[in-house]
Amino acid sequence: MKLKDIKSLLAKHHQEHLLDFWPELSVSQQENLLGQIEGLEWENIDSWVENYIKTEMPAKLPEKLESAPVYPAIASDPKIKALYEKAADYGKKLISAGKVAAFVVAGGQGTRLGFDGPKGNFPASPVKNKTLFRIFAEIILANSKKYNAVIPWYIMTSPLNHESTMSSFEDNKYFGLDKSDVFFFQQGTLPNFDFQGRVLLSAKDTIASSPDGHGGSLKALYKSGAIADMKKRGIEQISYFQVDNPLINIIDPLFIGLHAIENAQMSSKALKKAGPKEKVGNFCLANGRVVVIEYSDLPDELAEKRNADGSLFFEMGSIAIHIISRDFVEKLNKKGFALMLHRAVKKIPYINAQGNIVNPEQPNGVKLETFVFDALPLAEKSVIFETLRENEFAPVKNASGSDSPEVTRRMMSDRCKAWLKNAGINTPDDCVVEMSPLFAVCPEDVKMAKNKLISIKFSDKIYIE
């Protein structure tokens, strides 16, 4: 586009200030800035400003919300038991046939944890201080060995951490994985705004922007060529997880099998909420489709509503663990789709009219994000499978308190102890235990390897490999 056309585009959308420092810029800086301006979604900017920036659009709840059907964590009904056996067998077949990929979204900024660098480099394990990336890599490696299959790993980063993420894999020799089976790609970004709806500059030639949320993964998977790579490899199912949860069971034959047998396009694991207002999304059914309603959007009377037996009517919380069919992502992208935006009021460093960098002490603008669970209602069929918190959910979110590294480490150790107990081995209360995923990725693995554990001496810290 010519400068003249850019100027009129900016004027039309009230964003002329983006060229305020134009005369001061070098030719390459000017080109850089023009490229960024051209790359903005101009067809959407005015409606974003109206609906999300200047005011907060109240969440529109579907007229009728029902509770969503859930497969229980423990099958007591014989019919469900039989289905789970069939599903687990089918899941194992898919994994062994190389039809399942692992996919982590790791493009977030991890501001609450306050860790310098990609969150995947955070040392999370209780004895060996293994990083989150190492833990996931070892889980994937262990499953590849178990099923004698290649399980490629797709890793979504953002422009903020792409290079540093790649270097940590290079520096650690891909944590034992084959480099050719690890695929990195970057998610998209969205511009940051001040409360008047003006796009902010982070430098005189740079538009302030931030990653477009984990929902951006559904577009980035396609745009980056990851989906094409999966197709070439014969991948049918994608196991989606977040970078902050080391208890994740990345390759779960039962969950994968249930999703596939039910012909679902996007499925979820769920937890019984700790209380009516626990800060997790709520699984609901609206117009026959699964939706997740954020805790802050669910009116109190619905959050508190109970069934005759006293259980919560909206009992199941979302923990960001999904199986997504490759075909679903491909179709969404070919057809064109847009996830709703969510507004986050933040402190955003910016360049003021005098050309100085300002690091605000109070929130001064809005970042926009999309959430992956907003794709659930786009799926015609979606399975929800209950899991237990102690088995599978211990995210590292905050520096201290709930969801902190301290809690995660304790839960990792407790799960190892529970697996040992299940194999008939008791551990002292004050002993901290860590197991290499290469030793066990599920309780059955521990039972099978029991003879290796007979002579084990428990001290205050023990690592089992």
Asked if residue 186 binds ligand UTP (CB under 6 A), the reply is no
- Only segment of 102-110, 219-227, 434-442, 451-459 that touches ligand UTP (CB under 6 A): 102-110
CB of 34 to ligand UTP, least distance (A): 25
CB of 156 to ligand UTP, least distance (A): 5
- Residue 450 has a CB neighbour count (10 Å cut-off) of 12
Asked if residue 105 binds ligand UTP (CB under 6 A), the reply is yes
| Helix, strand, coil share (%) of the chain residues, nearest 5 | 40, 20, 40
| 15 vs 157 by CB, closer to ligand UTP | 157
Asked if residue 405 binds ligand UTP (CB under 6 A), the reply is no
CB of 294 to ligand UTP, least distance (A): 12
d(CA 388, CA 310): 20
Asked if residue 211 binds ligand UTP (CB under 6 A), the reply is yes
CB of 350 to ligand UTP, least distance (A): 19
Strand partners, 182: 153
- Only segment of 2-10, 111-119, 230-238, 379-387 that touches ligand UTP (CB under 6 A): 111-119
CB of 232 to ligand UTP, least distance (A): 24
| 112 vs 410 by CB, closer to ligand UTP | 112
Q: 91, 98, 107, 365: which one contacts ligand UTP (CB under 6 A)?
A: 107
Q: CA of 363: how far to CAs of 2, 111, 191, 321, in Å?
A: 35, 14, 16, 31
- Residue 131 has a CB neighbour count (10 Å cut-off) of 22
- Residue 196 has a CB neighbour count (10 Å cut-off) of 10
Q: CA of 83: how far to CAs of 88, 130, 238, 253, 295, in Å?
A: 9, 37, 22, 13, 32
CB of 325 to ligand UTP, least distance (A): 20
SS3 (DSSP) at 233 = helix
Amino acid at 222: Y
Asked if residue 189 binds ligand UTP (CB under 6 A), the reply is no
Asked if residue 87 binds ligand UTP (CB under 6 A), the reply is no
Q: 138, 244, 374, 392: which one contacts ligand UTP (CB under 6 A)?
A: 244
Asked if residue 377 binds ligand UTP (CB under 6 A), the reply is no
Q: CA of 395: how far to CAs of 109, 302, 342, in Å?
A: 15, 27, 22
The DSSP annotation for 103-124 comes to EEE-----TTTT-SS-GGGSB-
Q: Show contacts with ligand UTP in window 147-176 (CB under 6 A).
A: 156, 158
Residues that bind ligand UTP (CB under 6 A): 105-112, 119, 156, 158, 187, 211-214, 242-244, 397
